[in-house]
Amino acid sequence: MHIRDDWFTVERIDEDTFAISEYGHWENVHSYLLIGGRCAALIDTGIGISDISDVVKRITRLPIKVLTTHVHWDHIGSHGRFDDIYVHELEEEWLTDGIPGLPLEQIRRDVGRDISIPVPPSFDPDRYEPFRGKPTALVRDGDTLDLGGRALTFLHTPGHSPGHLCIYEEKRGYLFTADLIYKGTLYAFYPTTDPSRFVRSVEKVNGLPFVTRLLPGHLDLGLDRAFMADVGRACRQLAAAGLDRHGTGVHEFGSFQIYF
Ligand SMILES: [Zn+2]
Ligand SMILES: [Zn+2]
């Protein structure tokens, strides 16, 4: 299968797992499509510059469950195109009412800047509205979902946001890390973040028994367990030095940074 799209880049991770990426935007956001025997899971829906459901429909006709890693605008962009939406219970209100104190102007500035490829004519950053709507399912730590021969576990990994989820497919050793771990600047400096929880969440995923591959929400796609261990060491270092709190700034670790 070869999918061509002007905005999205589709990469096949394996037979029935796809990364759907937005390399034309400075954030390099990744969403993931996991095909099961009964239904498919779409982990996040991208920025919303282009409609991700068009690409998804070209890959599968199965019913889609949208699994929200966290309710930041760059991960819920096309939520409005789907009916079945999962979110952690602590971010239900963000999904229905938006994030308190985050100005729409700032979101519009960030969505519209540093775009390197042509956008669809329908996209206007000055009119961009982050998705708001009701989820159909609320999840908690340890909940599982069976797509039909593919079992997923939701791991509550707060810190970057209060209801942040990593999604773990133990059988294949896939860990979808969203904004907890990627190869860039990891953020936990907003008022709604929590550096010490972030550190604990990184520790939690490092304790998983079997991880073959990390599938992050941004930037480099091919991350392995060793990278997760590097981030773990960095977090332990910061905690030991008492730096796992707001306002301590950008901490540099070579291939990644941690911004508290
Ligand atoms: Zn985020
Ligand atoms: Zn993000």
Crossing angle between the packed helical segments 225-240 and 195-206, to the nearest 10 degrees: 140
Ion ligand 2 neighbours, Cβ < 5 Å: 74, 179, 217
Distance from the CA of 185 to the center of ligand 2, in angstroms? 11
Query: Which of 54-58, 81-85, 115-119, 239-243 is predicted least confidently?
Result: 115-119
Task: Sketch out the chain's domains with CATH numbers.
Answer: 9-180+207-224 (3.60.15.10)
Number of the ligand closest to the Cα of 30: 2
Reply yes or no on whether the pLDDT at 254 is more than 70: yes
In this prediction, what percent of the chain has a pLDDT beyond 90?
Answer: 96
The C-alpha angle with vertex 32 and arms to 58 and 175, in degrees rounded to 5, equals: 155
222 — pLDDT class (breaks 50, 70, 90)? confident
pLDDT at site 96: 97
pLDDT at 3 over 90: no
Tell me: pLDDT of 101 over 90: no
What spacing in Å lies between the alpha carbon of 189 and ligand 1's midpoint? 11
Neighbours of ion ligand 1 (CB under 5 A): 72, 179
Nearest listed ligand to the Cα of residue 44? 2
For 103-159, the pLDDT digits (tens) are: 999 999 999 999 999 999 999 999 999 999 999 999 999 999 999 999 999 999 999
157 CA to middle of ligand 1, Å? 12
Q: pLDDT value at position 1?
A: 65
Q: Please tell me the predicted confidence (pLDDT) of residue 73.
A: 96
The number of beta carbons lying within 10 Å of the beta carbon of residue 225 is: 17
Q: How far is ligand 1, taken at its centre, from the CA of residue 37, in Å?
A: 30
d(CA 165, CA 43): 10
CA pair distance 215, 228, nearest whole angstrom = 11
Q: How far is the CA of 258 from the centre of ligand 1 (A)?
A: 14
Query: Which pLDDT band, with edges at 50, 70 and 90, does 8 fall under?
Result: very high
Which residue is listed with tokens 């299968």?
1
Average pLDDT value for residue range 205-230: 96
Q: What is the mean pLDDT of the chain?
A: 96
pLDDT for 14-35, tens place per residue? 999 999 999 999 999 999 999 9
The 10s digit of each residue's pLDDT in 240-251 is 999 999 999 999
- Torsion, Cα 209 215 219 221, to 10 degrees, reads 100
